[in-house]
Structure 1
Amino acid sequence: MTAHSVAELREAWRAIEAGEFAPGPRSTPAAPGAATVWTPVPSERVVAVVGCAGGVGTSTLALALATAAAAPARVVECCSPLASGFSAAANAELGTEGPWRRGSRGDVLLERPTGTDAIVPVPTRSAVEWTFVDTNWTTVSGPGAGWLGSVLRTLDDVVLVTNGTVPGVRRLESCAELLGRDALGVVVGPTTKRWPRPVKVAAAGIPARVHIADFPLDSRLQVTGLTPDPLPASLLKAAQNVLALLRKEPT
């Protein structure tokens, strides 16, 4: 397996965005039926919560952010039903609306696709104040991403999520370099002061434009996954800290 530098990955990402492939076709068309445009309502603040890898706690963070917002909010989960982290998370199931299955947790609306293919439908129009798009780097940057393909280019608020391991912070570094602009990096696990030395050394490569925030692991949720039960207070407090950083950012 050939190793590639961060710089090479960054250039490859820029080439993908520009449709510059050689040899072969000049661009990759969207998958059939994949909508390429989504326009949120003007009063809706949209945050992309992007997992740098699978299983790092992206859905839990997205739900915690929506809950901590203390305002009408929703989480739009962008994955197949088989990969959903919200299948048992709602307090009430609200049925389906078009290609979306909907559930609620107080003021938080959960929306997840009903289809089994890889194409994520365009989100419904909503009157919520906050929308958190729960996705991962592979989905948002891969071919046939449809409207998700523009998320990293058009949204002001991007949260990159990883775990507190050496591979985890290296993935964060790579995603941050490919993103090429300011973002929040949320590391799930111990606080930065308690990172093992190898993790601290690896984290030195994360670009300075990425502000790092902590988000704790919860041993119960690691076993049960998300349930209708309230989220632990420690997760909500950490989510409030992340929201405070987002609110400082210009929109």
Structure 2
Amino acid sequence: MRLSEIGVTGQHVDVLHGGDVGPDGRLLSVAEIQQGFRKLLTDLRAQPPGALTEPVATAPIGGGAVATTGTVPTRDVAADRSADVDADWITVLAAHSGAGASIVSLAIADAAAADGRTVHLVESAHPARSGLVAASSSELGLDDTGSWRRGLRGQVIIDRRAGDAAPAGWPTTLETADPTTVVDIGLPSVANVARLAAGGARCILVSRATVPGVRLAEQALDALAAIPVVVAVLGPGRWPGEVTSSVGPRLRRLRADGQVVTVPLNRHIEVTGPTHSRLPKSVLTAGRSLLGLIDAARPGDVSTTARSAPRPKGTTR
């Protein structure tokens, strides 16, 4: 039976010769398909956070489509070790896929280094989803465990996951009195956002200036209500009316309190992603503003950066 001949609910299809339907050859109705998805979603929610799965990559990054051969049990470092995230670390979360957490993390790290700080930037994403793979100007090799790949970007030390196997712990911290540690967590699950919040970390939530972006940011802010949060929004300084009207109460309150920073979109970075090159001045300025706000969120410590962080003209802060 050809695809063009399929279209009647309950119709039987020869599954042995290309019919992509149920085992009994019967074409499923929309209601049955929806019911199946609901059961799948219920089963996924019932899994513990450490029992997530992810694709096994069989092709290198940059080699076209990445083929997969199935899934293997894995554990996300940012999720499973959320209790180990130091309260002094700066964690960067994406409110949705493609929000720009890696760009924001790099901007904060570069801004801190420009202030003369010792900076450690850690990316916890699987290597196939790394946003910082080209951000180092030189590679320093693997750590002793073989789990982390270290690179150097000016005065910033960057650690990225080295392989499919999830590391047993975070990379070795820098041997300095007071390093600034920035952790690019990317897009965690809802359950793991709650676990990070329970750990008391300082968070920067990243979103795009779109209607879906601000709606998803509002959901994440609900889960992060108990900890200090600053919001970075990639987009124009003046949000479109549809975006402004879609802002929820938590994001609206943070915006009114000056806890939202606009990170200007850069056409070149949109094409290339973060590289070893210097960030545009406007993006670095936004990173400095975010660093100042998150520093000020540390109890009893309002840094010079927080007091002097410039506000880019025409941007939300």
Tell me the TM-score normalised to structure 2 length. Answer: 0.62
CA gap 1:85/1:202 in 2 versus in 1, 3 angstroms: same
1:170-206 alpha-carbon deviations (Å, 9 max, x no partner): 0100100122234111111111xx1111111111433
Structure 2, gaps ≥5 residues long:
1-33, 36-41, 52-72, 300-317
Aligned residue in 1 for 2:107:
64
Larger radius of gyration: 2
Is this contact kept in 2: 1:59–1:134, CA < 8 A?
yes
2:158 partner SS: strand
Matches within 5 A, 1:1-251: 28=48, 30-31=50-51, 36=81, 38=84, 40=86, 45-69=88-112, 70=115, 71-97=117-143, 98=145, 99-117=147-165, 119=166, 121-127=168-174, 129-139=179-189, 141-142=191-192, 150-181=195-226, 182-191=228-237, 194-207=238-251, 208=253, 211-251=259-299
Is this contact kept in 1: 2:96–2:216, CA < 8 A?
yes
1:39-71 alpha-carbon deviations (Å, 9 max, x no partner): 65xxx9301100011211100100110110131
Pairwise CA distance, 1:136: 2.8
Measured in 2, the distance between the counterparts of 1:205 and 1:132 equals 28
Pairwise CA distance, 1:81: 0.7
Is this contact kept in 2: 1:48–1:151, CA < 8 A?
no
CA gap 1:140/1:59 in 2 versus in 1, 3 angstroms: farther
Aligned residue in 2 for 1:18:
none
CA gap 1:101/1:140 in 2 versus in 1, 3 angstroms: farther
Pairwise CA distance, 1:120: 5.0
Moved over 6 A (4+): none
2:278 partner SS: coil
More divergent stretch after superposition (52-61 vs 176-185): 176-185
Is this contact kept in 2: 1:79–1:120, CA < 8 A?
no
Q: RMSD of the alignment, in Å?
A: 2.8
Measured in 1, the distance between the counterparts of 2:159 and 2:277 equals 18
Pairwise CA distance, 1:250: 2.7
Q: How many residues align?
A: 220
Is this contact kept in 2: 1:47–1:155, CA < 8 A?
no
Is this contact kept in 1: 2:92–2:184, CA < 8 A?
yes
User: 1:61 is matched by which residue type in structure 2?
Assistant: V
Pairwise CA distance, 1:114: 1.1
Structure 1, gaps ≥5 residues long:
3-20, 143-147
Tell me the TM-score normalised to structure 1 length. Answer: 0.77
Relative contact order (C-alpha < 8 Å, sep 6+): which is higher?
1
More divergent stretch after superposition (30-39 vs 133-142): 30-39
1:235 partner SS: helix
Aligned residue in 2 for 1:145:
none
Is this contact kept in 2: 1:49–1:62, CA < 8 A?
yes
Measured in 2, the distance between the counterparts of 1:140 and 1:107 equals 34
Measured in 2, the distance between the counterparts of 1:163 and 1:240 equals 19
Measured in 1, the distance between the counterparts of 2:93 and 2:183 equals 8
Measured in 1, the distance between the counterparts of 2:297 and 2:183 equals 18
Pairwise CA distance, 1:152: 2.6
Measured in 2, the distance between the counterparts of 1:149 and 1:125 equals 25
Is this contact kept in 1: 2:123–2:184, CA < 8 A?
yes
Measured in 2, the distance between the counterparts of 1:140 and 1:112 equals 23
CA gap 1:215/1:241 in 2 versus in 1, 3 angstroms: same
Measured in 2, the distance between the counterparts of 1:106 and 1:158 equals 24
